[in-house]
Structure 1
Amino acid sequence: MLQTATVDYLSPSHPIKQIKIMFRKLKGGFLLVIGYLLSPLCWWNDLVFNLPIAYFVGYIFSLFNSDLLVPCSIAAYWLSNVTGIIMMQVGAVDVLQGQPKERNLKKELLTGLVSSTVYTMAILALIQFKILENPGLFPVKIL
């Protein structure tokens, strides 16, 4: 009598499953690194990544209206930081999670947006209460 072997493709030890898990972890690590480089947690990222991105976006919008350079640059700078935090969050979930689970993109984006906004408000409060110094982007003219 000939016996047939059954293959359990859903088993966590199956080679195809292991390759998918490894690929997900590599993708998560990539997102984590790129997110870190865009996030405010990296101390040197502004000069290399965020400010050039923000200036480029502001410049593109200033071609339509010259008054949009500064506001759009500020918005793009904030969005690049928020994007970095969200990318770090998604990457960390991919790297640290054992078995893949259903993802709720809406919930992840909302969580990232809320955490980034809280971070921004905390920095503004530290500047407002003179715990951190204002970088002096708009110097006051003394008459």
Structure 2
Amino acid sequence: MTNLPIFRQESSVAGEGTPQQLQSAALGDWKQNTFKKLRGGFFLVLGYLLSPLCWWNDLLFNLPIAYGFGYICSLFYPKLLLPGSIIGYWLSNIIGILLMQFGAMDVLQNQSKERNLKKELLSGVVTSTIYTLVILALVQLKIIDAAVPLLGS
């Protein structure tokens, strides 16, 4: 018989390995989960600040963003300042709700399953649009008063 080379078999089965390899893998998972939670928390807070759920955000965030968007639109055609500002305000609220949704999914989901960005984006736009339509209906039915009282009146 011929001499056959002897190969050393490496263990690649999950759960087998040296304690250092297991500790390194656990540390890597912990770092990844911590980063995911921090990123999700950042998006959640930023989304809350841009969303219509935060009552004081308009003066500090949404109106300057809306005016900037309207101003950029007015550079192309001067009469687009007001419509561009309205669209910019709506977009800032939509982006806020989407950021909250993405952040909440990072913070609240424990398992790392594959995410479908197209489905999540569509879901966020649909829920944001429904929210906007509900608020509009409540204002039109005079259940909510949208008039802002003048200071000093």
CA distance in structure 2 between the aligned counterparts of 1:118 and 1:109, rounded to whole angstroms:
14
What code does the residue aligned with 1:89 have? Q
What is the aligned partner in structure 2 of residue 47 from structure 1? Answer: 59
What is the aligned partner in structure 2 of residue 76 from structure 1? Answer: 88
After TM superposition, the score normalised by the length of structure 2 is: 0.80
CA distance in structure 1 between the aligned counterparts of 2:125 and 2:140, rounded to whole angstroms:
22
Q: Does 1:27 align with 2:64?
A: no
Q: CA deviation at 1:61?
A: 1.1
The SS at the match of 2:118 is helix
Alpha-carbon displacement from aligned partner over 1:80-128 (angstroms, at most 9, x marks no partner): 0000000000000000111211000001100100000000000110011
The number of equivalent residue pairs is 132
Comparing 63-72 with 44-53, greater Cα deviation is found at 63-72
What code does the residue aligned with 1:125 have? A
Q: Does 1:6 align with 2:17?
A: yes
What is the aligned partner in structure 2 of residue 15 from structure 1? Answer: 27
What is the aligned partner in structure 2 of residue 139 from structure 1? Answer: none
What is the aligned partner in structure 2 of residue 121 from structure 1? Answer: 133
Alpha-carbon displacement from aligned partner over 1:33-79 (angstroms, at most 9, x marks no partner): 00000000000010000000000110111122111001111011001
- Choose the corresponding residue for 1:97, options 85, 109, 116: 109
Structure 2 residue runs of 5 or longer lacking an equivalent are 1-10, 149-153
On the 8 A contact 1:10/1:17 being kept in 2, the answer is no
CA distance in structure 2 between the aligned counterparts of 1:48 and 1:7, rounded to whole angstroms:
54
Q: Structure 1 pair 101/10, CA: closer, same or farther in 2 (3 Å)?
A: farther
Q: Structure 1 pair 71/6, CA: closer, same or farther in 2 (3 Å)?
A: same
On the 8 A contact 1:53/1:76 being kept in 2, the answer is yes
CA distance in structure 2 between the aligned counterparts of 1:127 and 1:112, rounded to whole angstroms:
23
Structure 1 residue runs of 5 or longer lacking an equivalent are 137-143
On the 8 A contact 1:31/1:88 being kept in 2, the answer is yes
Runs of 4+ in 1 over 4 A off after TM superposition: 7-11
Q: CA deviation at 1:10?
A: 8.9
